[in-house]
Amino acid sequence: MSPIAIIDFETTGISPNMGDRATEVAIVMLEGGQVVDRYQSLMNAGVRVNSFITQLTGITNEMVQAAPPAEQVMRDAARFVAGRPMVAHNAAFDKKFWQAELARCGQDGSHAFACTLLLSRRLYPQAPNHKLGTLAALHHLPSSGRAHRALADAEMAAHLLAQMQHDLKTRYGCTQADHALLMGLQRTSRHMVGSYLKQRAGA
């Protein structure tokens, strides 16, 4: 199965349209249910990090000021992804920052994003909620660092995706739990999930 790039951004806020910028990015490459490669870097976009964000993430102004320029980091990140299909938890958020930060260095960010939040709502409707930490605890996924740091969250999302691929194979008989199947599943109404997966399993 071809690799999938799972990405997570730490940022100064929730909206690049309102001037928020990325402070850290991590990308984990998942292949055959295993993490096979990682990229992580803080980045300096020349903006201040407020106290709420520092408390949430542990990322300080000093850390950001000492980091490489955002454009350099984003070029490296794009090179690392190399056009592979992408996944994030609440992908609408990370996709916005991926596109906004790449646009600042004149690069195209129109990658196909699958979303573990949307997929979780379809595969695990019984979950108490669909926060990344809750789902990781629910599935007894390994944790590898402080939550709300990019690499730890990207790895957690990668483990969640691997769990989903496993469940798609063992519970629903989907032998090809690839990115195309995930994109189709997240576009499927939750009432149609069973018939969609049955159709894909038989394909």
Partner DNA sequence: TGCCAGGCCCTCTTTAGGGCCTT
The residues binding DNA (CB under 7 A) are: 8-11, 13-15, 17-18, 23, 50, 53, 56-57, 89-90, 92-93, 117-118, 121-122, 129-133, 148, 153, 186, 190
Q: How far is the CB of 74 from DNA (least distance, A)?
A: 16
Q: What is the largest CA-CA distance in the chain?
A: 54
Beta bridge partners of 115: 88
Q: How far apart are CA 164 and CA 160, in angstroms?
A: 6
For DNA, the closer CB: 10 or 155: 10
For DNA, the closer CB: 19 or 202: 19
Q: What one-letter code names the amino acid at 92?
A: A
CA separation, residue 170 to residues 155, 165, 195, 201 (Å): 22, 9, 16, 11
Residue identified by tokens 């695990």 is 124
Helix 91-104 / helix 116-123 crossing angle, nearest 10 deg: 170
Q: How far is the CB of 66 from DNA (least distance, A)?
A: 18
Contacts (Cβ under 8 Å, ≥6 apart) of 199: none
For DNA, the closer CB: 84 or 148: 148
Q: How far is the CB of 144 from DNA (least distance, A)?
A: 15
Q: How far apart are CA 154 and CA 8, in angstroms?
A: 5
For DNA, the closer CB: 31 or 152: 152
Q: How far is the CB of 150 from DNA (least distance, A)?
A: 8
Q: How far is the CB of 98 from DNA (least distance, A)?
A: 13
For DNA, the closer CB: 8 or 84: 8
